[in-house]
Structure 1
Amino acid sequence: MDGFLDLVLDFSDYGALLPLVSNSLIAGAVLGVVGGLIGIFIMMRDMAFAVHGIAELSFAGASFALLVGADVVTGSVIGSLLAALVLGVLGTRAKDRNSITGVLMPFGLGLGILFLSLYEGRSANKFGLLTGQIVAVDDVQLTGMLLLSAGVVLALLAMWRPLTFASVDPVLARARGVRTAGLSIAFMVVLALAVAMAIQVVGALLVLALLITPSAAALRVSSNPLLTVLLSVAFALTSVLGGILLALGGSLPISPYVTTISFVIYLVCRLLEKARSPRRHLV
């Protein structure tokens, strides 16, 4: 039991190791803000499954870049954008989007596994693309992530009102002149960039813990639009930063810590929702 605990949490050299993850902490904070903001729209538009499909194509792009010696972040972004454009153009309806996502997911995962099996470099690089790496963000990657994050946030702010309208009632939005088709494609592109960034920290298989779970938890405890967004961002920040700090004290990948914190937050929010529900019936 002691050996298992040392594997999961060991803070004996914590002070010396903490400077090694300074870039990861900054990247995690940025991703927490982006994930918390965009996750609200993912939930409103019922696109949780689509996120997984984009993540698999992003993983394939990153794996190919790793195989040929190109920039992994660029490969991840290209893979995400290709998936997002396919879903945005062909999957205008939720039913179509889900079926296309079901086709893209195994295709992307299969390609990614093929590229990784051909890669003869460090095994940690292979594993990190799937489950994340705690010390994976260098200065160049951090700069790129900051620029991409700024672009994502600005794009979300620019389309916030029409996107909210189209997400809540797309039929009425079209009747009022909102170009929902173009807006949907624009959102898919923004989502693709967010997924590509998230993969650099938490990995392709567990990206939902950063982009979906915090927002799902926030929607359980509040119906106020502003408060929901703030809670979603706070939950995402807690999950990713807490996961990085805990992973530093063990030898496991970062993703189990991030997903566990995120899941616990969701469970607590479900319990709070259940505790409040009898009062709502009495009012």
Structure 2
Amino acid sequence: MPTADALALAAGSLPAWSWNPVADLREMWAFPFMVNAFRAGTVVAVGAGVMGWFMVLRRQSFAGHTVSTVGFPGAACAALLGVSVTYGYFAFCVAAALVIAALPRSGRAAVGHESAVTGTVQAFLLACGFLFTTLYKGLLGGVTSLLFGSFLGITTGQVWLLTGVTATALLVLALVGRPLLFASVDPDVAAGRGVPVRLLSTVFLVLLGAATAGASQLTGTLLVFALLVMPGAAAQALSARPATGLLLSVVIAVVVTWAGLIVAYYSPYPVGFYVTTFAFGVYALARGWQYARGRLPARPALAAGGAA
């Protein structure tokens, strides 16, 4: 629930940008809910940057979109039951990840079956989400924040929960990172070498569900996909090295999240819109740089024994 300071800010006039960054940041961080928003945003961005890089590498963007979509009915169901929407996000997103992991993956027919089942369940759960919001009248004013994100209602308890979940997810990912990278680049060879490809896929999807649930609370369920896919895609366009790509993905995710929070503080529009817009801008620049770099002529090799 939004704090008293957050409600007062939302009800009053928008703060004015003074063009003094230090003073503006001090004024912004004078509100505890904004401090919580930046803390949660940083934690969410780190998790989304790492998971998103692997998601793009593994070509599981559709799975990430599906997991992010079901966060909306999860949050709505939790509100209807009278519990924190955070638990709804995590329960539904992780459950959706397990369902996707259980579907068969080999063969053309299996791929078609997976797409059909995923799309059907996704559509049904979205309809359930709107049903839950109708049954619980008090949530009708918060549908926009669930779909497109809000920084007004993040509490200290949610920040600690997000930190714990993200830290756990990153620890598990660090433990399985090397075989997961091998299985992501060449699953057939990895399976032939005895790597448990199916188990690693399941573990990763569960971690992706946890990261999605965390990011949904900031960007909204419809736009969380942008924070997952765009930093990772931009990072892979800039560097093919795993360590460099992961670092770039995290940095991009944190920068666009902070930029989105700052602009949203001075704007009446949802924070998810700004995070998505900035992330798309970075992705477009990365793709432009990749194209320009590919078009540049190669440097001529120095002849052996050339003039000094």
TM-score computed with the length of structure 1 as normaliser: 0.92
1:231 corresponds to which letter in structure 2?
L
Match of 2:260 among 243, 248, 251: 243
Match of 2:52 among 30, 39, 42: 39
Residue pair 1:91, 1:100 contacting (<8 A) in 2 also: no
- Which residue is 1:61 aligned to? 74
Match of 1:276 among 293, 303, 308: 293
Ranges in structure 2 where 5+ consecutive residues have no aligned partner = 1-12, 301-308
Match of 1:11 among 17, 37, 49: 17
Q: Displacement, 1:123? A: 4.0
- Which residue is 2:120 aligned to? 103
- Which residue is 2:249 aligned to? 232
- Which residue is 2:9 aligned to? none
Q: Write the distance in 1 (CA, Å) between the matches of 2:257 and 2:93.
A: 21
Q: Displacement, 1:91? A: 4.4
- Which residue is 2:5 aligned to? none
Alignment of 1:6-155 (within 5 A): 10-11=16-17, 15-18=26-29, 19=31, 20-93=33-106, 95=111, 96-155=113-172
SS of the residue corresponding to residue 137 of structure 2 reads: coil
Identical amino acids, percent of aligned pairs: 35
Q: Write the distance in 2 (CA, Å) between the matches of 1:218 and 1:280.
A: 23
Residue pair 1:77, 1:192 contacting (<8 A) in 2 also: yes
Q: Displacement, 1:121? A: 1.1
Q: Displacement, 1:52? A: 1.3
- Which residue is 1:190 aligned to? 207
1:254 is aligned to 2:271: yes
- Which residue is 1:175 aligned to? 192
SS of the residue corresponding to residue 70 of structure 2 reads: helix
Q: Displacement, 1:120? A: 1.1
- Which residue is 2:7 aligned to? none
Residue pair 2:90, 2:209 contacting (<8 A) in 1 also: yes
1:207 corresponds to which letter in structure 2?
V
2:192 corresponds to which letter in structure 1?
A
Paired residues, number: 277
Moved more, 124-133 or 33-42: 124-133
Q: Write the distance in 2 (CA, Å) between the matches of 1:142 and 1:124.
A: 23
Q: Write the distance in 1 (CA, Å) between the matches of 2:104 and 2:258.
A: 34
Ranges in structure 1 where 5+ consecutive residues have no aligned partner = 1-6
What RMSD in Å do the two structures reach over aligned CA positions?
2.1
Larger Rg belongs to = 2
Q: Write the distance in 2 (CA, Å) between the matches of 1:103 and 1:46.
A: 21
Q: Write the distance in 2 (CA, Å) between the matches of 1:282 and 1:31.
A: 41
1:169 corresponds to which letter in structure 2?
D
SS of the residue corresponding to residue 158 of structure 1 reads: helix
TM-score computed with the length of structure 2 as normaliser: 0.84
Distance 1:63 1:167, change over 3 A: same
Distance 1:278 1:128, change over 3 A: same
CA distances 1:151-193 after superposition (whole Å, capped 9, x unpaired): 1110110110010011111111111111111111111111110
CA distances 1:191-210 after superposition (whole Å, capped 9, x unpaired): 11011101110000001111
- Which residue is 1:265 aligned to? 282
Q: Write the distance in 2 (CA, Å) between the matches of 1:280 and 1:108.
A: 52
